[in-house]
Amino acid sequence: MKEYLKRSKMSRLSLCCIFFLSACATQQTKINQTRQVFAMGNLPAASAGIEQAIPTKNNIYNLEQGSVQRLMGASRVPDSTRQLLSADDILQQSEAKRANLKSSLSSLGGYFLSEGIGKEYEMKGYEGSLLAYSIALNHILLGDWNNARVEVMKMVKREQDLAAFNELKYQAITEQKNKGVKGMQGTVDNRFVQGNPMISGYPVNTLSDPDTLSLKNSYQSAAAHYLAAFIFEKLREPSLAAPGYRLAIELRPDVPFLQDGLKNLDANINQPVNSSPNGTTDTLFVVETGFLPTMDNFKVNLPIPIRGQLRFATVAYPYIAPNTERFNPGQVVVDGQLMNLNMITSVDSMARRDLRDEMPGYMLRATTRAVTQVLAQVGTQQAIQGNNSNNSNQAALGAIAGMITGITMAEISAADVRHWSNLPANIYLARAQVPNGQRGLLIRTPTGSLVGRQIAFNGDKNIVYIRIFRDRASMMSSNDVVNGFQNTGQPIATVIKNAPASLNVPPSQPNPIPTR
């Protein structure tokens, strides 16, 4: 009887896990449905869709909602910052937990195998770095360079800790792989788990493109570190700015633009603070374009040898679809002055590199959970058959057990594909000395039209932030609040439909109009 109750309790726990993972899948499906609304620049509708999709207000909600709120304009940036800082608090709790696990590979392995089972989403490495970058941008858009400095310092520390944690995590994965499934010797052929069977039919080409393979790692962004160096330069801290520029160059050695930042650092630091109305403002343009593709489950049936018999389990691995919404705007224009944009960070490639690097762990986790679930189902069915003498009841319970088995393989073996979905596909940078005063800013959208607004250029440093949607763009500046532009409506719709030839999309961008 005790054994039966124990197995019954196990079944109830399995059902709870099923319902939780089903809820996660439903949540991400609803978030994916808001992506099209977001891509069109309908930010109020996107915000409402996020509210409906994530009623529990977890850290995915904080990330998605915080991103949307910033793009509504400077007046909503404080709301955005509160949301992003809430996500950051949860991430710091997770980081503290990881730090406590470093002393034990076995504990770290157990933590890793349980990832994805919990209310809060375990942020990916690149998402943690881009979260600090995003909060820093928020502070800058309100003219708060000192708090922006705090965030980029946090980003640097976070990446250092992540590098150390990843090294230990990969050791733990190897150890767990070599052990097989604890306690299953004689029941499961552990060579199955230790061998990490190939994923039949998995589209490996989505993780093996040259841009993805060329990355030094999955979590450091050259654009974010260039921004950090620019912030330190603004605050007259060359000892911190120089390492930022150097790291950006190390991450993207093929981009001469990044080398100019380091080369001109000393001269820029020695320049007097710009206070003349006839002077120029050193301006960094940060332009985010495109949209990340969806992440879904790639499912495959695996044969699992148990007590000399093969049982089949459905397991799933994360899969990132090909990206059909990248866009290169080419240039940004200020009062007729054209500045070429440089693609510095591909967030799309960072996401793919993260999945590629983590795939051995995903495979081990999926097969381990599948084996555990099959054994639980076998035990449940044996308990039912051994504890119910009434044939009709036994038949009914057997049917229920069979139904649970089907649901378990379809749901509890699913990968956690939640992610920060409204990050841009690419981040472009440009930098120029812009004459002081109010100037007209223009940039092209994927539909071929131009959008623009008036920007005030003054002081020694300015950052202009642009997020391009399909036919409009949010356009903000670090000088907006001090110059009275904080109530400028965002995003800005088309202002010029027939763009001049000088703003043609580069030949490397064959079709700027996004398709799905």
DSSP of 80-137, one letter per residue?
HHHHHHHHHHHHHHHHHHHHHHTT-HHHHHHHHHTTT-SSS----HHHHHHHHHHHHH
Which residue, among 282, 281, 287, has the nearest Cα to 264 in the 3D structure? 282
- Measured between alpha carbons, how far is 418 from 83 in angstroms, rounded to an integer? 18
d(CA 188, CA 375): 9
| 426 within domain boundaries | no
Is the CB of residue 316 less than 8 Å from the CB of residue 415? yes
Name the residue among 89, 87, 37 with its Cα closest to residue 61: 87
- For residue 458, being part of any structural domain is answered with no
Which residue, 25, 2, 17, is CA-closest to 419? Answer: 25
Task: Work out the angle between the directed axes of helices 222-234 and 125-141 (0-180°, nearest 10).
Answer: 30
Give ∠ CA 159-428-493 in degrees, rounded to 5. Answer: 125
How many domains, the chain?
A: 1
Say which CATH number the domain at 97 has: 1.25.40.10
pLDDT the model gives residue 354:
94
**CA 466 – CA 380 distance, rounded (Å):** 57
Q: What is the pLDDT of residues 255-311, one digit of tens each?
A: 999 999 999 999 999 887 766 667 899 999 999 999 999 898 888 887 777 777 777
- pLDDT of the residue at 102: 58
**Assigned domain for 305 exists:** no
Q: By the 8 A CB rule, do 106 and 175 touch?
A: yes
Q: Check if the beta carbon of residue 369 is closer than 8 Å to that of residue 377.
A: no
Q: Is residue 356 part of a domain?
A: yes
Residue 202 has a pLDDT of: 84
pLDDT of residue 223: 98
In this structure, is residue 217 part of a structural domain?
yes
Q: Which domain holds residue 67?
A: 2-273+347-412
511 in any annotated domain: no
DSSP-assigned letters across all residues of 382-405: HHHHHH---HHHHHHHHHHHHHHH
Q: What is the pLDDT of residue 494?
A: 73
pLDDT by 10s per residue, the chain, length 516: 444 444 444 444 444 444 444 455 566 677 777 888 999 999 999 999 999 988 888 999 999 999 999 999 999 999 999 999 999 999 999 888 877 765 554 555 555 555 554 557 889 999 999 999 999 999 999 999 999 999 999 999 999 999 988 888 777 777 766 665 444 444 444 444 444 445 678 888 899 899 999 999 999 999 999 999 999 999 999 999 999 999 999 999 999 999 999 999 999 998 877 666 678 999 999 999 999 998 988 888 877 777 777 777 778 889 999 998 899 999 999 998 899 999 999 999 999 999 999 888 888 777 777 777 777 666 666 666 665 545 544 444 344 344 344 444 444 567 888 999 999 999 999 999 999 999 999 999 999 889 999 999 988 899 999 999 999 999 999 999 888 888 888 899 877 665 555 555 444 443 333 322
In order, the DSSP letters of 332-357 are EEETTEEEE-EEEEEHHHHHHHHHHH
Condensed to tens digits (0 to 9), the pLDDT of residues 81-100 reads 999 999 999 999 988 887 77
Of 45, 86, 28, nearest to 62 (Cα)?
86
Q: pTM of the full predicted structure?
A: 0.84
